[in-house]
Amino acid sequence: MPGRREELLDAAIEVLGESGMHGLTHRRVDSAAGLPAGSTSNHFRTRDALLDAVVERFSARERQIWEDIAARLHPRTPVELALAMAELARGLTGPHRRVSLARYAILVEAGIQPSLRARLLATGAEVNTWFLTWLRLAGSTDPVRDAPLLMNHWSGLVLHELAVPDPAFDPSVQLTALVTRVIRPEVPA
């Protein structure tokens, strides 16, 4: 069960996902969490402190969503990895849409507010590390090269789906075509 801090951060993610960066205030987070006024401020004195913590929280939530998918699908080939990435995209544009909207709102804000970049770079480095492992398991012989190709394309797919939702959204075919062209496992001699 999440503690008070996680409760507030999850409420902040909901506020960001519903109202964007301009809607994020300590008072709105308190209200969204169903807690007394001042609760968010007691944990996160400034908006910057709240944003830094939100970055950590949405990163942890996205990773948990991926780990749940990976535990169920066990992607060990390029096709299996592509299908897991497609399921993640559907989840983060469907039931977990607000988590994604919060992430993209903060990414845009980092372009304006350089202080957020350090936190995003740190969490991004963690994501890269665990994604490299999944690429290796799927047979990538050069995961450092493959990761940005796949992750940047995947991010664009998700962003587009968030902006212009398609009821028939299924990136499986597109991701399978991309992943199987990028990841070319070595054939034993």
Convert the pLDDT of each residue in 121-167 to its tens digit.
888 888 888 899 999 999 999 999 999 999 999 999 999 999 999 99
Digit-coded pLDDT (tens) for 85-108: 999 999 999 999 999 999 999 999
Residue 188, Cβ neighbours under 10 Å: how many? 4
Taking all residues of the chain, what is their mean pLDDT, rounded to a whole number?
Answer: 93
Indicate if the pLDDT at residue 187 is higher than 70: no
Which residues lie closer than 8 Å to 143 by C-beta, 6 or more apart? 131, 132, 135, 136
CA atoms within 13 A on the CB side of 95: 6
pLDDT at 125: 87
Question: Which domains are present in the chain?
Answer: 54-182 (1.10.357)
Indicate if the pLDDT at residue 188 is higher than 80: no
Q: Which amino acid is at 160?
A: H
Q: Length of the chain in residues, anyone? A: 189
Do 58 and 103 touch, CB atoms closer than 8 A? yes
The reported pTM is 0.90
pLDDT at 22: 93
How far is the first Cα of the chain from the last one, in angstroms, to the nearest whole number? Answer: 51
Do 54 and 12 touch, CB atoms closer than 8 A? yes
Do 40 and 12 touch, CB atoms closer than 8 A? yes
